[in-house]
Homo-oligomer: A and B are copies of this chain.
């Protein structure tokens, strides 16, 4: 890709002056139309030292409305960034719909640098590119228009440019001499990385950077046409139908057994021993968590389950055994307008705790494949895509220092009814029961199918599901605490 680009393209001063006014007003018009179009734009700017990446960006800021565009550099990560999964620093600045974000280098920066300096081999490079492809696909499938630009320069021009400028933090080499020496390696690795990540959803554009007018105009035209064509085709790309994700089933009940049918709801806690057992577990947990804190391990506990299965009380019993300074309970509410303007995982990325802490999710991103699926709040293509997205997300949470545990609290429909009636008749529990709970109850079968597929598709070795028999509340609680304790203890041994 990079070798064929030395075509000597130029734009004369006169042509530049002639074309600029219309280009600029169309750019502004398209940018304004974005605001009502539920589309965000992400530009990734990469290229050789001396190719003028920063100048292009400045030009775009000049030509567009600066209130709708933000440029982000990813120089040395802050300690808050280092304490979280590597992609957290990108998620925190992803553009909302209506906005344009420019990433200088973005997720390519570190990979390319490591490759050039021989710090990663080919297999490692593939491994590093996997999350790149994943996040780009995920964002493109959502509502983001992704355009990636590589600025290319002949060697002699590069030498001349670099010798008269100071290096900025975006440059790879401190001097013209070093850049020229590293030029071949850069080109070779860039070629491989660009080819590997040049997808229809997030294409690379190779731009000759020798002639600055050509460089800036062609960048702007590319952005403009991409915006205009996206704005013209207002079909919902993200909802394009996908093939069904599950086998079609015979009608016989025996053919419709789900993972939940294998949960032994008869399990009971020993009533005599229960209190003591619980206290011991809470005590152990407290000690373990300070050790986990000391090691900088981050724990993510996800609670899902039927209404009235006891998520709230389980979390309460669990947290009694934790120091309040070390954990955070994150409830799941209706998303805010700001959250709706981003990918649905964005709100959970924002909640990633610092190293050593525990994040407890009282309902979670699984809403996408449960309530949103069943109630039709999202399109089939969206929840179908979510399984892969969630697995990828959790694998990043797991990372080097994470521990992800997921719990489904299971009760029978009969027990649920008993608890609903109890809530209705106990004054201080009434806030817990809503019309929605009764409506959900009627859709039990649909929900159960969704739970089944969820568990099948997202039960991974790094983020396992635990199906908890909660028919007896006490038994359920003890199980959860035991599982958390055992997982933490095992994690500390690693």
Contacts and interface: CB of A to CB of B under 8 A. Distances in A.
Given A32-B431, A54-B323, 4 more contacts: A57-B325, A58-B322, A67-B329, A336-B336
A461 interface: no
Nearest to A53: B325
Interface stretch (A107-115, A127-135, A311-319, A382-390): A311-319
Contact of A315 (B32, B66, B337, B338): B66
Interface stretch (A72-80, A118-126, A148-156, A239-247): A72-80
Contact of A428 (B28, B66, B319, B325): B28
A456 interface: no
B312 A65 contact: yes
Given A66-B315, A67-B312, A338-B336, A325 B431 contact: no
Contacts of A54: 323-325
A80 B78 CA distance: 6
A170 B325 contact: yes
A401 interface: no
A240 to B, nearest CB: 30
A25 interface: yes
A62 interface: yes
Contacts of A68: 331
A71 to B, nearest CB: 4
A319 B62 contact: yes
Interface in A13-60: 25, 28-29, 32, 54, 57-58, 60
20 contacts: A25-B428, A54-B323, A54-B325, A58-B319, A58-B320, A60-B324, A61-B320, A62-B320, A66-B329, A67-B331, A68-B331, A78-B78, A78-B354, A168-B290, A168-B323, A168-B325, A336-B336, A336-B338, A337-B337, A338-B338
A104 interface: yes
Interface string A161-174: 00000001110000
A472 interface: no
**Most chain B beta-carbon contacts within 10 A, residue among A316, A319, A360:** A316
Interface residues of A, number: 47
A362 interface: yes
A102 interface: yes
Contacts of A440: none
A197 interface: no
B70 A328 contact: yes
Interface string A325-351: 100110100001110000000000000
4 tightest CB-CB pairs across the interface, nearest first? A67-B331, A66-B329, A71-B324, A57-B324
A358 to B, nearest CB: 12
A320 B329 CA distance: 45
**Most chain B beta-carbon contacts within 10 A, residue among A61, A68, A169, A336:** A61
Contacts of A328: 70
Nearest to A71: B324
Nearest to A323: B54
A386 B73 CA distance: 35
Contact of A58 (B28, B323, B336): B323
Interface string A445-488: 00000000000000000000000000000000000000000000
Contact of A61 (B80, B169, B319): B319
Interface string A223-235: 0000000000000
Contacts of A102: 324
Interface in A273-331: 290, 312, 315-316, 319-320, 322-325, 328-329, 331
A57 B336 CA distance: 29
B428 A316 contact: no
A170 B290 CA distance: 13
A58 B337 contact: no
Nearest to A61: B324
Contacts of A65: 312
A61 B315 CA distance: 11
Contact of A62 (B80, B168, B316, B336): B316
Nearest to A315: B66
Contacts of A57: 324-325
